[in-house]
Amino acid sequence: MTIYDIAKVAGVSASTVSRVINNKENIKKETRDKVKQILREYNYIPNDQARGLVTRSTKLIGILVVDIRNAHHTDIAFVVEKFLRKKGYCSIILNAGEDESEMCEAIRIIEQRRVDGVLLIGSMFQNKRVKTEIIQNLSHIPIVMANGYIDRSNVYGVLVDEYEGVKKCVDLLFSKGKNNIAFIAKSTTPSSQEKIKGYIEGLKKHNYLEKDIIIIETNNTLKGGYKATQELLMEKKHIDAIIYSEDIIAVGGIQAVKDLGLCIPKKVAIIGVDNTIYGQIISPSLTSLDNKMTDMALQASNILIDDLEGMNHPEKIMLFSEIVERETT
Amino acid sequence: MTIYDIAKVAGVSASTVSRVINNKENIKKETRDKVKQILREYNYIPNDQARGLVTRSTKLIGILVVDIRNAHHTDIAFVVEKFLRKKGYCSIILNAGEDESEMCEAIRIIEQRRVDGVLLIGSMFQNKRVKTEIIQNLSHIPIVMANGYIDRSNVYGVLVDEYEGVKKCVDLLFSKGKNNIAFIAKSTTPSSQEKIKGYIEGLKKHNYLEKDIIIIETNNTLKGGYKATQELLMEKKHIDAIIYSEDIIAVGGIQAVKDLGLCIPKKVAIIGVDNTIYGQIISPSLTSLDNKMTDMALQASNILIDDLEGMNHPEKIMLFSEIVERETT
DNA sequence: TTGTAGGCGTTATCAG
DNA sequence: CTGATAACGCCTACAA
C-alpha cells in the first residue's frame, strides 16, 4: 500500500496524498477529508525508509551501552527509549562491550544505519579509539555522552560529579568514626578513576598518609566483590570501612563481611555507588552514592533532541550526586 | 559519499561499484581491487536505508518487551541483541507497557519502520487486541513470541512449561514436609495464570482441598511482595511455605518473613520464579524456578533468523524449567 | 566483464 | 489548490 495506491483510489495525485499525510497547508478541506478517509480505510502506514531517503533523516537514535545488564544501564535504556519514542524517534540499542574495537564496530554499525543522533552511555566510551572513530566518521550528527565528554563541536557531555560524591562518602565515614577506609573498584573505567581520585582526595583532607591509601582492583561482579573483600579483611584487620566503585561489588562485599562474622556497620561500614535496587535487597541494606544515572540519561536525551530540532545547549553540564544512607553506615 | 562518487573516482559505473560492494561474481580482478581500494580510501559506508528500499528489507528486528527493567527481560534483551547483530540485524527495542493500547501503538510503530521480523518477549502479548493488530497489520513478516503463542502461520511460539515447573515446586515443598503452601502472584499475566494452575494442580495431587488453596494477588514489586506476605502470615499463622510468581516479589516476601522474626526455611519456606540475580543477593539465598528465559530468547531469535533465511521450524516449541535450590527451602 | 535504465516509496520543487 | 517531475542512494535486469 503506497501513496500511489491511495492516490488512485482517491482520484488525486500522489503529491496530494503526501500533503495530506504530512498535514500541509493549502488543501481543500473536501480533498483532505476524502483522502484521510481512504487512508484510514486502507490502513495506510507510511514507509519510513523511503521517507527518510528523501528527508535525509531516519528518526533513529543509536544508543550504545557497554552492557545493558548493568542495573544502571538498564534503567537508562528504559527512560531514554520511552522519552525518544514520545519525540517520534526509535532507539537502536547496541551492547558495545568493553573492548575498544568492539565499540568502534558498534559505532560503524550505527553509522551505516544513518541514525540521526547517538547516545553514548557510560564513561567507557571516553577513549582514544572511540574518539578517533567519532571524529572521522561521526562528525555530522549530534552525539551526547552520558558520563563522558569529548571536546568536539558535535559532542555534548552530561557528567556527574562522582569525584565530589566519593569525597563526600569519605567524609561521611569519618563522621561515623571510621579511620581506616579502603576502596575496592573495577578500576578500568574513567568513571572509576574519578571515584578513586575522590577517595584519595577525601583521605588527604583528613590527613591520611599516602601509604595508608588502600585501593583494591576487582571485576564488576558479585563474586569479584566477595573475593576482594575477603582477602582484604583477612590481611588487614584494621580496616573499618570500605567504599566500592559499584553497588554490585559492594553487595558481594557485604556477603563476605557477614561470612567473616564481622558486624556491619559497627566493625566494617560499607558504601556502594549507583543506588541500584540491589542495595534494597541485600541485608543490611546498602548505603550508596546515587549518581543520578536516570536524570543524566534524561538530560542527555533531551539535549540530543533539542539539538536535532535546532536548539542550543551548553556543551557540557554537570549533575550532583547524592548519598542515600541505609544500614551499612 | 555514494556509489556514484566512488564510481567517478574509480572510473567505472555505479553498478560496478555496487557489484563489488555486494561481492558479486564476474568482475575482473583488477577492477574489483581498484574499486575496493577506493572504497576503503574514502571510507565508504553503504546507506542501509536506500539499500533496504530496493531489497525490501531493513535488517531491523523489532523487539517488544513490557518493561526492559524487569530483570529477565534485561537479560533477554542483551542476549538477543548480541545474537541478532552477529547475524547482521539491528534491534529496535520498545518498552511496550502493560496496557493493551500501548502495546498496539508499539506494534504500529515497528510496522511503520518496516522491520524484517518481530520478537514479542513475555506472555503479556497474548491478548485479543494484540492478536487482532497482528492479524491485520503484521501478517507479512515472521513473529516469534517468547513465552506466548498465537495460532497464525507467520507466528512462532517458544514456551516454557511453567505449569509443570510450579507443580514441581509444590512437590519439592511437600518433600520438605511443608503442608500449608500459599501462592503470591501478580496474576494479570497469562504466564502467572499458568503458574497458578500448576500450583493448584500440584496441591490437588497431594490431596489438598479446594478451600485450602490460598492465592494472594499483589503487584510485581519488592514492596508488593513484602506487604502481601506480611498480611498473609499475620492472618494465617499455619502457612509454612510460599511460592511467588516472580523473584522480586519473593525477595520482598523474604524481608517480610524475616521482619516477623520467622525462621526461613524452618518455619516458612520460600520459592521464587525467574532465577534472577536477586536470589543470590538476598539472604537467605532464594530457591527459584529457572524458567530458562535466556535460552528461550536465544531459541526465539534463532527461529526468527532461520525463518528470515527461508528455513523451516516447528510453529511451537517447549522448554523445560528447572528448580535451582538455595537456602530458602 | 561492464554500463544503461528503471524502479523502490517518499518528499520537494515548480508549474499550472 | 493540485499535478508532473525530479530527486534520495542503491540494486538489478537487460543490453552491449
How many interface pairs between A and B have CB atoms less than 8 angstroms apart?
117
pLDDT digit string, tens, across residues B60-114: 999 999 999 988 899 999 999 999 999 999 999 999 999 999 999 999 999 999 9
Answer whether residue B269 is part of any domain: yes
Given strand A117-121, what is the order of strands in its sheet?
A316-319, A155-160, A143-146, A117-121, A60-65, A90-95, B90-95, B60-65, B117-121, B143-146, B155-160, B316-319
Residue A31 sits in a domain whose CATH number is 1.10.260.40
- Using the predicted structure, report yes or no on whether residue B209 has a pLDDT greater than 90: no
The rounded distance, in Å, linking the Cα atoms of B126 and A108 is: 37
Residue A204 domain-assigned (yes or no) = yes
B324 Cβ contacts chain C strand, under 7 Å: no
In a domain, B52, yes or no: no
Answer yes or no: do A280 and A300 share one domain: no
Secondary structure, 3-state, B119-151 = EEECHHHCCHHHHHHHHHHCCCCCEEEECCCCC
* This model's pTM is above 0.75: yes
Beta bridge partners of A244: A184
Q: Cβ A111–B277 below 8 Å, yes or no?
A: no
pLDDT digit string (tens) for B238-289?
999 999 999 999 999 999 999 999 999 999 999 999 999 999 999 999 999 9
Nucleotide nearest to B49 (CA to C1'): D9
Q: Per-residue pLDDT tens for B140-184?
A: 999 999 999 999 999 999 999 999 999 999 999 999 999 999 999
Strands A287-290 and A322-324: antiparallel
Question: Residue B95 is nearest to which of A69, A78, A112, comparing CB atoms?
Answer: A78
B131 in the same domain as B166: no
Question: Are residues B253 and B244 in contact, defined by beta-carbon separation less than 8 angstroms?
Answer: yes
- The C1' atom of D3 and the CA atom of A16 lie apart, in whole Å, by 8
Residue B311 corresponds to which amino acid? M
Domain-embedded: residue B328: no
Residue B53, CB, strand D, below 7 Å = yes
Mean pLDDT for B4-22 is: 95
The dihedral built from the CA positions of residue A310, A311, A317 and A319, taken in this order, carries a sign that is: negative
Specify if A53 maps to a domain. Answer: no
- Is the domain of B171 the same as that of B277? yes
Q: What's the full length of chain B, in residues?
A: 329
Residue B29 structural domain: 3-46
Extract the residue ranges of chain A whose pLDDT is less than 70.
none
- CATH code at position B196: 3.40.50.2300
> Does one domain contain both B78 and B8?
no
Looking at beta carbons, which residues of chain B come within 8 Å of A282?
A: 281-283
